[in-house]
Amino acid sequence: MPQKRHRHGRSMKSGRIKNWPKEERPRERLLAEGADKLTEAELLAIILRVGQGTFKEGMLGQNASDFARTLLKDFHGLRGLDRAHIQDLLKVPGLGPAKVAQIKAAFELGKKVCARKLTATAFESSQAIADHFRPRFTGKRQEMVAAVFLNGQNQRLGEKDITEGTPTQATVYVRRVIEEALHLSAAAMVLVHNHPSGNPEPSAGDDETTRNLLKACKLLQLILLDHVIVGESEHYSYADSDRLQELENE
């Protein structure tokens, strides 16, 4: 049987991976060449073969690399696999609780590595805020709202998850946001939330939330610096778009 080739020119052999030449085995390649040289399927294959999970090479006529490619295809890539519910993964023949836990843990570790601690200089742009929160929002099927609280020098005092909603909306309780700000003796804040659809354009409900929070902040001499909506690869900033001023003047 002729061997298939993948984009790096290496052969993709069928059969058990331990019978492959060492230079073509995913784990050995990672150790010799670095993780960045491997494809998504090869990286996933390493996770599937490590630990005490139920997947065994030869199950369903697939080795770990074949199985990894099947998973990525069935769940529409890494993003789909990350978003998949645990119970849906457990229904896949060849995946047991241990393997599902390993896959989910790997995704979460990646998000934590990408997440950056906010510093005073990190607030110089809405892009920095979006970059900080995007790893936390990645893979979420529902809208999540968070607030960042700052002192008079725009230095971060803390951040708080405010609410979690549905795929299309999340109810923001202005009173809760204000209570958190007062608890931290904050002088200013930034509201941040995601759009699971990937499109960061604000909705009428987003405008209403921003307007109500602006009014509450004004009464208590707090400053709403921005409301940032995080999409898949882009973001929307009420401050950058001058929408904050428009809503304040309505």
Structure tokens at 113: 């590595």
What SS3 string covers 57-100? CCHHHCCHHHHHHHHHHHCCHHHHHHHCCHHHHHCCCCCCHHHH
Q: Give me 65's structure tokens.
A: 């690399």
**What confidence score (pLDDT) does residue 14 get?**
52
On whether both 9 and 43 belong to a single domain, the answer is yes
As given in the structure block, the two tokens for residue 142 are 């529902």
* 52 and 71 fall within a common domain: yes
Q: Do 104 and 161 share a domain, yes or no?
A: no
Calculate ∠ Cα 110-112-113, nearest 5°.
65
Looking at the DSSP bridge assignments, the partners of residue 228 are 192, 237
Q: What is the pLDDT of residue 7?
A: 42
Say if residue 22 is in the same domain as residue 105. yes
12 pLDDT band, cuts 50/70/90, is: very low
Residue 8's pLDDT is what? 43
**Domain total of the chain:** 2
pTM of the model: 0.55
Q: What is the Cα–Cα distance from 5 to 7, expressed in whole angstroms?
A: 7
Q: Where are the alpha helices (DSSP H) in 75-203?
A: 77-83, 86-90, 97-114, 126-137, 174-183
Task: Domain of residue 197: give its range.
Answer: 117-249
Domain ends where: 83, 113, 143? 113
Cα–Cα–Cα angle for 16, 60, 63, nearest 5°? 25
CA angle 143, 145, 149 (to 5 degrees): 165
11 pLDDT band, cuts 50/70/90, is very low
> Does residue 30 sit in the same domain as residue 52?
yes
Q: What is the pLDDT of residues 46-82, one digit of tens each?
A: 888 755 454 555 455 578 888 889 999 999 888 889 8
CATH code of 13's domain: 1.10.150
CATH number for 218:
3.40.140.10
Which of 76, 68, 23 is CA-nearest to residue 50?
68
Residue 5: is its pLDDT beyond 70?
no
Q: Are 173 and 143 in contact (CB under 8 A)?
A: no
Provide the sign of the torsion angle of the four alpha carbons 19, 21, 24, 26, taken in this order: positive
* Final residue before a domain boundary, out of 91, 113, 135: 113
In this structure, are 136 and 101 located in the same domain? no
Q: Which one of 98, 113, 128 terminates a domain?
A: 113
The model's pLDDT over 144-194, given as tens digits with 9 standing for 90+, comes to 899 999 888 778 888 888 876 555 555 678 888 999 999 989 999 999 999
Q: How far is CA 10 from CA 4, 5, 6, 38, 79, in A?
A: 8, 6, 6, 11, 26
